[in-house]
């Protein structure tokens, strides 16, 4: 679930990702780009940790009024213009949808910090989120001129909600080196529906392949990353972004897996040759065709095994 703990939570985050707001996802045959999830405390060292990433999801609470380290977060975003930062927002508290006014407030607070996108976690129907709310959230984020990355265990939950060019679906833990999803997250094992991913790709959306090592980030080696990236490219051949995280995504260690390790692994690994995929029998057509249009930011428009307390000090 790529979960980030909040005070109300019970739960957890390509070809090439765009460097410029109006640049679209590249064809899936290209090399996947490094994508990162950073839930740690922003320090002066963080600027070096993020180098080489094309997209990074920042942990929840940074957007909240009165957040102690908000100035450092804002500066990190502003001085790294080549990185597309995403703000973390949950659509559910684990079983019930978050009220729309609260979601709208969080979207606006993240935009004020200068992010280019919003990461919607706990976004699937298994967390009590109806398709109408997902579609509303996507439309709201697009209206702010921001991109959307949706994390839902079942990729068909990302169909029919308006994802298009510049947006992404997060395929979390379709491969895990040391754990099984059925053990780690009961009833939340990914469906691994490649047909649904093909449909998302046809809409112009990217696919982020994400896995987490069950050890602190500094202990993850380049060999670990190479193994994970190769396995994810076999499981998700159309992946446009690759993310390998350490335990709690740096929330405890304030560290990230070097983007250079992910890039090197992507360059030397090979995607599986995808077999022709029929249309997904569970695909849901959009009730509003306009929601499927590709959006430019210039147009009007879950993950850890235990929850952390809010970080209020380095």
Each residue's pLDDT tens digit, 7-41: 333 333 333 333 333 334 444 447 999 999 999 99
On the question of pLDDT at 309 being above 60, the answer is: no
pTM across the whole model: 0.81
Tell me if residue 154 falls in helix, strand or coil.
coil
Question: Which DSSP letter does residue 26 get?
Answer: P
State the pLDDT at residue 2.
Answer: 63
Domain-by-domain residue ranges, the chain?
33-277
pLDDT band at 262 (very low <50, low <70, confident <90, very high): very high
For 27-86, write each residue's pLDDT tens digit: 444 799 999 999 999 999 999 999 999 999 999 999 998 899 999 999 999 999 999 999
Rg (CA), the chain: 17
State the pLDDT at residue 274.
Answer: 57
Tell me the C-alpha distance between 157 and 190, whole Å.
Answer: 11
Please report which helix (H) or strand (E) contains residue 84, including its range: strand 84-90
Instruction: Work out the angle at residue 93's Cα, subtended by the Cα atoms of residues 204 and 169, and round it to the nearest 5 degrees.
Output: 15
CATH class of 33-277: alpha beta
Instruction: Give bridge partners of residue 121 from the DSSP assignment.
Output: 90
Q: How many helices (H) and strands (E) does the chain have?
A: 8, 8
When the pLDDT of each residue in the chain is averaged and rounded to a whole number, the result is 81
Tell me the C-alpha distance between 287 and 101, whole Å.
Answer: 23
- CA dist list (Å): 141 to 135, 207, 226, 245: 10, 18, 34, 26
Beta strands 168-172; 147-151: pairing state:
parallel
Tell me which residue of 93, 65, 126, 90 sits closest to 8, measured CA to CA. 93
Q: What is the DSSP string of 90-152?
A: ESBSSSSBPPHHHHHHHHHHHHHHT-SEEEEES-SGGGT--HHHHHHHHHHHHHTT-EEEEE-
Q: Which residue has the tokens 């979390």?
A: 172
């Amino acid at each position: 679930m790529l979960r980030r703990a909040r005070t109300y939570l019970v739960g957890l985050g390509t070809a090439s990702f765009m460097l410029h707001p109006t640049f679209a996802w590249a064809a899936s045959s290209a090399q996947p780009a490094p994508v990162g999830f950073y839930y740690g405390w922003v320090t002066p060292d963080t600027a070096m940790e993020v180098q080489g990433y094309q997209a990074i999801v920042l942990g929840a609470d940074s957007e909240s009024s009165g957040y102690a380290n908000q100035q450092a977060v804002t500066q990190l975003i502003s001085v790294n213009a080549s990185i597309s930062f995403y703000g973390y927002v949950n659509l559910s508290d684990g079983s019930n949808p978050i009220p729309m006014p609260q979601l709208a407030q969080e979207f606006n607070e993240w935009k004020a910090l200068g992010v280019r996108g919003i990461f919607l976690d706990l976004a699937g129907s298994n967390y009590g989120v109806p398709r109408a709310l997902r579609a509303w959230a996507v439309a709201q984020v697009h209206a702010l001129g921001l991109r959307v990355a949706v994390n839902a265990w079942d990729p068909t939950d990302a169909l029919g909600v308006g994802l298009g060019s510049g947006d992404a679906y997060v395929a979390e833990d379709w491969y895990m080196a040391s754990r099984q999803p059925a053990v780690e997250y009961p009833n939340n094992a990914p469906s691994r529906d490649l047909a649904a991913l093909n449909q998302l790709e046809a809409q112009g959306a990217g696919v982020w392949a994400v896995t987490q090592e069950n050890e602190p980030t500094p202990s993850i080696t380049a060999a670990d990353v190479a193994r994970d990236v190769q396995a994810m490219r076999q499981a998700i051949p159309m992946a446009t972004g690759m993310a390998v995280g350490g335990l709690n995504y740096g929330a405890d260690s304030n560290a990230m897996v070097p983007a250079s390790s992910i890039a090197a692994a992507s360059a030397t690994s090979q995607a599986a040759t995808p077999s022709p995929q029929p249309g997904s029998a569970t695909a849901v057509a959009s009730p509003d065709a306009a929601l499927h249009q590709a959006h430019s930011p210039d147009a009007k428009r879950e993950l850890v095994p235990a929850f952390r307390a809010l970080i209020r000090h380095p």
